[in-house]
Amino acid sequence: MLASHFAAKGLHVFIAGRSENKLQRVAEGIRQHGGSVTFVVADATIVQDVAQLFKMAQSDDYIIDIAAYNVDSNIPAPLLDTDTETFTMLWQQNCLGAFLFGKEAVNAMKKRKQGTLFFTGATASLRAKPPFTAFAAAKAGLRALAQGMAREFSPQGIHVVHTIIDGVIDGERARNQFPDYVNAKGKDGLLQLDAIAETYWAMHEQHPSAWTHELDLRPFKEPF
């Protein structure tokens, strides 16, 4: 949805992921609405893939105004049932990948001394709760990365934002996996994709004298 929203604003968007079929579907949806898009098959945890993504994004004289790191990776498990492979994979996808992505984004933006870099966090970024302890460890690392990058690169004109998604996003996955929960939440009880994208865009347009580094987004019905 971020890509669709940014494309609707007139930007040429690059979308990346590991599934070519999924990327093709998303790209086609953007094009059907008049948007301009390029999809790149890439794994965020592989240095060469991330470097190639940013190389392509800067081809044909494109300038990177916005870069958003958002991975959908969470495996619930009690701590004693979490093996080293699972813990490492969650860290690689949620934290290491953000590090690789963030470095490439900053290198692309620092030449012009402007740009917005988004890192999408979660409730777990702030507090660890079973059975998501491994996930929380990775998301907390992502938050620390975003804080450090904001302090280092804000003076260079790069707006680094960490968004905490505190709630369930309304989409096909939620409605298929736990429909009873979705129905129980009722109208506007889940985060709407359009609303999230609008908030991201608003932060991108903020004046540098009043930048937001971190904010949380949650439905008005969500307890916290």
Contact 170, 222 (CB under 8 A): no
pTM of the model: 0.94
Burial class (CB in 10 A: 0-12, 13-18, 19+), 86: middle
pLDDT at 142: 98
132-146 residue pLDDT tens: 999 999 999 999 999
Element spanning 103, H or E: helix 97-109
58-94 residue pLDDT tens: 998 899 999 999 997 899 999 999 999 999 999 999 9
pLDDT category of residue 181 using cuts at 50, 70 and 90? confident
What percent of the chain is modeled with pLDDT above 90?
88
Report whether pLDDT(153) > 90.
yes
Q: What is the dihedral of CA 191, 177, 41, 73, to 10 degrees?
A: 70
pLDDT, averaged across the chain: 95
Residue matched to tokens 């009722």: 186
95-121 residue pLDDT tens: 999 999 999 999 999 999 999 999 999
pLDDT at 224: 87
Residue matched to tokens 């690789």: 100
pLDDT at 175: 85
